[in-house]
Amino acid sequence: MADEIDVSLASYEELMDLEKDFESAELEILRQQIPLLKPLYEKRTSAIAKIPNFWALVFEQAPPDLDQFIQPSDSAVLLSSLTSISVSHFDVENGGKGDPRNVAVTMEFAENEWFEDKVLVKKFWHRQSKGNDAGLVSEPVAIKWKAADKDLTQGMLDLAIKVWENDKKQGPSDSTKVKKEKDYNADEKALKAKIEATGRGGVSFFAWFGFRGLNVSEEESRLAIEKDKKDRAEREAGNAPDLLEAQEEEEDDDEDDDEDPFGLEIFPEGDEVAIEITEDLWPNAIKYFTQAQEVDVSDMDFEEEDEDEEMDDDEEKPKTNGS
Amino acid sequence: MADEIDVSLASYEELMDLEKDFESAELEILRQQIPLLKPLYEKRTSAIAKIPNFWALVFEQAPPDLDQFIQPSDSAVLLSSLTSISVSHFDVENGGKGDPRNVAVTMEFAENEWFEDKVLVKKFWHRQSKGNDAGLVSEPVAIKWKAADKDLTQGMLDLAIKVWENDKKQGPSDSTKVKKEKDYNADEKALKAKIEATGRGGVSFFAWFGFRGLNVSEEESRLAIEKDKKDRAEREAGNAPDLLEAQEEEEDDDEDDDEDPFGLEIFPEGDEVAIEITEDLWPNAIKYFTQAQEVDVSDMDFEEEDEDEEMDDDEEKPKTNGS
């Protein structure tokens, strides 16, 4: 039995190292593929510019994983005012060697009754913590609401910005330093109360601009990735603590913080939304637009048909795979 | 109003052409990426070989889109006998210039009470029909059941093979030739009855080996893709029927067949299963295995903890994004 566990741990370590190799290979592939696709996305941007409401319609047809975060009041804003979305993998677009998972989502808006901003840019960076957590981090982006009763987040975004501005004054981010709830200042207490009062389901999509994610600085991430590589090289050379011991060590480091590091996050699924937009809405926008239009040119011919017949027609259509 | 429709049709055409450009670019990227990842998959295969039941556990942890097709009786077979899965993009793996969506799924089995086969290989080809439908097609693969009451498909797969063998004698596939139900021969009638008696929910996963898909020959697909390219070039040169007229023409071609081309398909979602295996189960196998094992090395240290504490631990774990 002891033997079995040994084998399985060694194999497990090998598998985890392989997962890292796959991740590196896939990042390198992404790094090459983004500049290749860029001219096509630019062509698409020109084609889309001729179509009024393109992005509003795409957002309306958003996949369920994204749509769940759009409240009816958000829909009204997006449908009437969203004029453009663009996604930029800013670190690799021009052949750069950075992380292709770093993205900026730019949303443009027409004059509207809710806020002054014509452009909102939300940037995300992929970072790794000392404790080996990895994910997208971001900085809150302020929205200039035209009046308090036009604020779709009901003050939550403004408070999140205030808390963040104050955090910045305390020094750089550190994933191991999580403030205990009993040490919250007045703004933090107010924010916590607002988050609890709003409840998970009722948060506006626009609170997404307040997402922060893991509290990891660029420096912490760089060191964590370096340590990872060093540990692995030593492990492969046979003279280093194995993965289990390394992780135990990290566990010990972490033992102090029994606080929820996301206690003051106003949009906890902000990273998921970024990934949904980047990996689904953006690349598949034409597909969602076509769905929204329900334009099927082959049907235009048959407009006189009654509804029953059209339904039969649909049922008989051979499936196609999403290639 | 008429003007508006014209603009929108021209834009629609432009968008559809762009979608084709994206598709070509993505195929080219896939074509380059598959040989790059091949050595890593080979390394993974060696690592996995040391772990008993790896694939059986992965299959048990299959994502819902795949799991829905696995009956309890299938699970028993897979868990006790599945020893290996592999996915091969056979047309591009060694730098070939074919379609990277063409795949072969190879499943290997230990000696078992249900069938004689040690290896089952299911191949798929991506094809396009004259009528502009596209998707994966395949050929039925026979399974040598050890006895009639061991046949998980209850005779359905054997009948599908018989029907297919007979179809082959009638000449090459042609997507526009769909046999009317009134012209079915005895085997086809028997198969149709069996499909209807089984009902959608109750079909064994092993019926997947009988999937055929669109009735499109390699030649029909080649010609359809060529015609597509020619039409587009002429359209861009400004002297060709536009997309709408072209599609109307194709509609006319199709008008004869008001029969369901998938009336004798024993596993209509066979293409989806192929895609689930190829694009999710196969690349994410280590992730699913880890889930199945619920191996979290960082928890091994805390086995003495009571369950409540462990749950607290989980809740506090920061989210990571699936990069």
Among the listed residues B167, B217, B160, the one whose alpha carbon sits nearest the alpha carbon of residue B190: B160
The pLDDT score that the predictor gives to residue B295 is 44
pLDDT tens per residue, range A110-140: 999 999 999 999 999 999 999 989 999 999 9
Chain B partners of A318 at a C-beta cutoff of 8 Å?
129, 133, 135, 175, 214, 261-262
pLDDT tens per residue, range A248-260: 555 544 444 567 8
Best residue in B12, B181, B264 to probe A by mutation, most A CBs within 10 Å? Answer: B12
Confidence category of residue A316, pLDDT binned at 50, 70, 90: very low
Average pLDDT, chain A: 84
Name the pairing type of β-strands A82-88 and A134-138.
unpaired
What chain A residue is nearest to B99 in terms of C-alpha separation?
A: A323
Chain B partners of A289 at a C-beta cutoff of 8 Å?
15
ipTM: 0.80
Return the H-helix or E-strand segment holding A146: none
What is each CA distance from B56 to A13, B61, B202, in whole angstroms?
A: 20, 9, 21
Confidence category of residue A303, pLDDT binned at 50, 70, 90: very low
- Compute CA B246 distance to the chain's CA centroid, rounded to the nearest angstrom: 29
B210 vs chain A: nearest CA distance in angstroms? 17
Confidence category of residue A200, pLDDT binned at 50, 70, 90: low
DSSP state of A281: I
For chain A, percent of residues with pLDDT exceeding 90: 61
pLDDT tens per residue, range A82-97: 999 999 999 998 878 8
Instruction: Give the end-to-end CA distance of chain A in Å, rounded to a whole number.
Output: 47
**Higher-confidence position of B69 and B232:** B69
A18 contacts B295? CB cut-off 8 A: no
pLDDT tens per residue, range B201-241: 689 999 999 999 999 999 999 999 999 889 888 877 876 55
pLDDT tens per residue, range B113-122: 999 999 999 9
A134 vs chain B: nearest CA distance in angstroms? 5
DSSP state of A207: G
Confidence category of residue A210, pLDDT binned at 50, 70, 90: very high
B320 contacts A126? CB cut-off 8 A: no
A101 contacts B298? CB cut-off 8 A: no
Structure tokens belonging to residue A129 = 């913590």
**Higher-confidence position of A165 and A5:** A165
In sequence order, what are the residues at sequence separation of 6 or more whose Cβ sits closer than 8 angstroms to the Cβ of residue B29?
A: A29, A32, A33, A36, A37
Q: Which of B47, B261, B322 sits opposite A11 (nearest CB)?
A: B47
Chain A partners of B241 at a C-beta cutoff of 8 Å?
none
B298 contacts A247? CB cut-off 8 A: yes
B47 vs chain A: nearest CA distance in angstroms? 7
DSSP state of A140: -
Confidence category of residue A164, pLDDT binned at 50, 70, 90: very high
How confident is the model over A31-45, as a mean pLDDT?
Answer: 94
How many A×B Cβ pairs under 8 Å?
160
Question: How many beta carbons lie within 10 A of that of residue A153, not counting itself?
Answer: 23
Euclidean distance between CA atoms A282 and A48, whole angstroms: 12
pLDDT tens per residue, range B176-187: 888 888 899 999
Residue reference for tokens 């929204």: A292
Chain B partners of A214 at a C-beta cutoff of 8 Å?
318
The pLDDT score that the predictor gives to residue B258 is 63
Euclidean distance between CA atoms B22 and B20, whole angstroms: 5
Residue reference for tokens 């889309």: A48
A214 contacts B50? CB cut-off 8 A: no
Euclidean distance between CA atoms B151 and A82, whole angstroms: 57
Q: Which of A14, A250, A318 sits opposite B262 (nearest CB)?
A: A318
A313 vs chain B: nearest CA distance in angstroms? 9
How confident is the model over A232-255, as a mean pLDDT?
Answer: 63
Residue reference for tokens 């631990």: B313
Average pLDDT, chain B: 84
Please give the CATH topology (third level) of the domain spanning A2-295: Arylsulfatase, C-terminal domain (3.30.1120)
Q: Which of B250, B298, B323 sits opposite A134 (nearest CB)?
A: B323
For chain B, percent of residues with pLDDT exceeding 70: 81
Instruction: Work out the angle at residue A131's Cα, subtended by the Cα atoms of residues A126 and A134, and round it to the nearest 5 degrees.
Output: 20
B244 contacts A297? CB cut-off 8 A: yes
A114 vs chain B: nearest CA distance in angstroms? 30
Order of all β-strands in the sheet with B82-88: B82-88, B103-109, B119-128, B134-138
What chain B residue is nearest to A33 in terms of C-alpha separation?
A: B29
A260 contacts B316? CB cut-off 8 A: yes
Chain A partners of B21 at a C-beta cutoff of 8 Å?
40, 43
Among the listed residues A102, A100, A128, the one whose alpha carbon sits nearest the alpha carbon of residue A27: A100
pLDDT at A274 over 60: yes
In sequence order, what are the residues at sequence separation of 6 or more whose Cβ sits closer than 8 angstroms to the Cβ of residue A103?
A: A87, A88, A89, A90, A123, A124, A274, A278
Instruction: Give the end-to-end CA distance of chain B in Å, rounded to a whole number.
Output: 46
Residue B252 in contact with residue A302, Cβ under 8 Å? no
Confidence category of residue A313, pLDDT binned at 50, 70, 90: very low
What is the number of helices (H) and of strands (E) in chain A? 12, 4
CATH number 3.30.1120.90 is the correct assignment for the domain at B2-294 = yes
Structure tokens belonging to residue B305 = 């903890």
Backbone angles phi, psi at B245, to 5 degrees: -65, -40
Burial of A201 (0-12, 13-18, 19+ CB in 10 A): exposed
Euclidean distance between CA atoms A264 and A179, whole angstroms: 10
Confidence category of residue B53, pLDDT binned at 50, 70, 90: confident
